[in-house]
Amino acid sequence: MKESTLFIAVKHPGFKMELNYNRDLLKSVLTQLTSYDTNCEMMQASKVVVFHSKYHPMKLETPQSTTVPYYHERANDNFNIESSDKELKEKFKQIQKTIACNLQ
């Protein structure tokens, strides 16, 4: 508030119309608020100004990554395969070979 004037910025013109219509109600609510809570004594307004803010906060630019991020292999290829299923054993052996290649 500046010199007991309450400035209210809204993003939509409809909000501005509604708050302008209820300007006296806003002032009376602020007056009642000061009587209920002593911490709000500075919230007195003799004048309420509502305006449409056409300014929007600037978007923060995130840096664009042009390369594909590469990660180090965290798995290791030393695990035992205890199964009687030959097909399953072959799949695990292929996985071991792939992990071994990625470790290098």
Of the pLDDT bands very low, low, confident and very high (cuts 50, 70, 90), residue 65 is low
Of the pLDDT bands very low, low, confident and very high (cuts 50, 70, 90), residue 16 is confident
The residue extents of the domains of the chain are 5-52, 72-104
**Which whole number is the average pLDDT over 55-71?**
69
Give residue for tokens 């052996």.
93
And the tokens for 65?
């990554």
pLDDT at 2 over 60: no
**Which whole number is the average pLDDT over 74-98?**
85
- Prediction pTM value: 0.46
Of the pLDDT bands very low, low, confident and very high (cuts 50, 70, 90), residue 1 is very low
Torsion of CA 64, 68, 70, 75, to 10 degrees: 120
The angle at the Cα of 99, spanning 93 to 104, to the nearest 5 degrees, equals 130
